Chain A
Amino acid sequence: MLFSVLIYASEDFIDAVTPEEHAEIMRHHRAFHEHTKSNKHFAAATKLMSTGTAVTINKESDDYVVTDGPFAETKEQFMGFYLLDCSSLEEAIDAVKLLPLDHGRVEVRPVEYFEGADFKNAERLVIDAS
């Protein structure tokens, strides 16, 4: 079964972390990567750009309206997600315990449908099949 691991944090906070704190956060993520790759549960990792880059597309009567910024203003923002391919919710929760949980929130939510494709305009992304 596929599980999504959805990561929320305050961008005000993320922007303020020191290089040492950033390194500590990344240590947790690396541990998560190593664990889920070694037991073959790792399926995908996605880190989103800042919400300042976002636009929201609406339809008003017959017109498309593109507004600037994310859909909702919240104290914590959606930062990115992992996909895990594991056999139970329990396994997904165990893996998530390795993530940095002192700040922000992590939500686990099962995936109903997933399809991937070859990327043609994203040559800088890491695509690691291992």
Chain B
Amino acid sequence: MQSAWLSTHLRAARPRVVAALNRAFGDIDLAEDAFQEASLKALKSWRRDELPKDPTAWLIVAGRNAGIDAFRKKRRETPAAPEDLEPVHDGSHPEDDMTVSLDQSVYRDDILRLLFTCCHPVLRRDQQIALALKIVAGLSVDEIARAFLVQPKTMEQRITRAKKRLQAAKLRYEEPDASARAARFSVVANAIYLVFNEGYSASHGEDLIRETLCEEAIRLARLLVRLFPEEPELRGLLALCLIQHSRRSARLTADGEAVTLEQQDRLKWDRTLIAEGTVLLEAALRKATPGPLQVEAAIAATHTRAARYEDTDWAELDRLYRALEIIRPSPVVTLNRAVVIAKLKGPAEALRNLEHLATPLQRYASYYALRASLMHEIGLSNEARLNFERALELSGTDAERRHIERKLASLVPAI
């Protein structure tokens, strides 16, 4: 079999296999190593015309055997190793035409458990993202390091520390009840959205690897929606990622400059992704249990319904941002809502809404940039310039800086 296709089969099976091995061993590190061993075995023995009937089940058995071997070895070296990890003998050998068919509900529990472990609240956000990408998606340390613009060594340490932190927390995985389950979905969905955003927000990193992050996040979201179609917030997550991703070729110029929603060529938006995102959102909203990701997806979908920026349904956006302020209040949400209020009620009203954000957003470039634009609109030229300068000081990236500079330059005649 061509090795390229083979590695795609391995990539496709990876989340489910690692999840099953994690259940068997109760240790993500060991599960990852065992998957690696199983993959090497597959590379040697699979052929294009003789793929196992169920590659996923094949890899789980091969991985389980590899893990057991590793245990035995370890036990010989360190006699105090746990005794309760006696191998499970199921009589099957990976080379056999084996047909271990795993129940879909077992997969479901395993995947949720694996993702919840990688995205556990004891971990920092950057650790959650790194672990999800490394262990579940199977990106290499080098790739993840490139995405975050850090040295591979730094990323290696970050992942090692995250794993240690999980061990130190002595997580005991208990079967969650309904409300704990809902909380776990929310943790996992948010972490996957962080992965997507890391790729989407043009803050740093190379374009190619950033695109990979978005696609990996979408792949994980698709897997989750496939396993848990009845969870509206997961469909909301996928809808949100797809609709944001639909703008990818419109939101940067050829030189990599960010293009605002207002300036984007809407004909470049990917209508296929928008259609899928929109119908996923509709299906999610039927359950009438709105969550923050569903509301964010609804906001994104509202923009896609406007053929031109001038046609944007600002009243609907105001309702949605108000809902978001209630479900998941944050200064950034209020900041975004102020943009909508400016359209509906004018710049003075929007500025009033921004007043109480001065403290929480005092280091946030977009806060000052928005204030500056609004002040400029009502003729407060000096204040506008001061705010633009403050925004410029705080801007994190070259692209952001150039964007603010262009705005500042366009104000010069007025000031």
Contact = CB atoms under 8 A, between A and B. Distances in A.
Interface of A: 10-13, 15-18, 20-21, 49-55, 66-70, 73, 75, 102-103, 124
A12 B13 CA distance: 7
B98 interface: no
B219 A55 contact: no
Given A10-B12, A52-B235, A15 B283 contact: no
A15 B222 contact: yes
Contacts of A20: 4
Contact of A52 (B5, B56, B222, B271): B222
Chain B interface size band reads 20 to 34
Residue of A11, A15, A49, A102 with most partner-chain B CB within 10 A: A15
Contacts of B54: 75
Decide if the interface of chain B is mainly helix, strand, loop or mixed: helix
A53 B16 contact: no
12 contacts: A11-B222, A12-B56, A16-B8, A18-B4, A21-B4, A49-B279, A55-B286, A67-B230, A68-B230, A68-B235, A69-B230, A124-B272
A73 B104 contact: yes
A49 B235 CA distance: 14
A73 to B, nearest CB: 5
Nearest to B10: A16
B280 interface: yes
Contacts of A75: 54
Contacts of B225: 50, 52
Interface in B87-110: 104
A36 B326 CA distance: 56
Interface in B267-298: 271-272, 275-276, 279-280, 283, 286-287
B61 to A, nearest CB: 16
Interface of B: 4-5, 8-9, 11-13, 16, 48, 54, 56, 104, 219, 222-223, 225-226, 229-230, 235, 238, 271-272, 275-276, 279-280, 283, 286-287
Nearest to B232: A68
Nearest to A56: B229
A53 B280 contact: yes
Given A11-B226, A12-B13, A52-B229, A102 B48 contact: yes
Contacts of A10: 12
B143 to A, nearest CB: 14
Given A16-B9, A68-B229, 11 more contacts: A11-B222, A12-B56, A13-B8, A13-B12, A15-B222, A51-B229, A52-B235, A53-B276, A70-B229, A102-B48, A124-B275
A68 B48 CA distance: 35
A15 B12 contact: yes
A102 B8 CA distance: 13
B185 to A, nearest CB: 14
A21 to B, nearest CB: 6
A16 B8 CA distance: 6
A42 to B, nearest CB: 21
B279 A53 contact: yes
Contact of A69 (B5, B13, B229, B287): B229
A83 B8 CA distance: 30
A13 B9 contact: yes
A95 to B, nearest CB: 22
A12 B280 contact: no
B16 A12 contact: yes
Residue of A16, A51, A70, A102 with most partner-chain B CB within 10 A: A16
Contacts of A54: 229
Contacts of B286: 55, 66
A11 B286 CA distance: 25
Contacts of B104: 73
A53 to B, nearest CB: 5
B280 A52 contact: yes
- Closest A-B pairs by Cβ, 4 of them: A69-B229, A52-B225, A16-B12, A68-B229
A130 B48 CA distance: 37
B123 to A, nearest CB: 25
Contacts of A18: 4, 8
Contacts of B4: 18, 20-21
Contacts of B226: 11, 50-52, 69
Contacts of B229: 51-52, 54, 68-70
A12 B286 CA distance: 26
A68 to B, nearest CB: 4
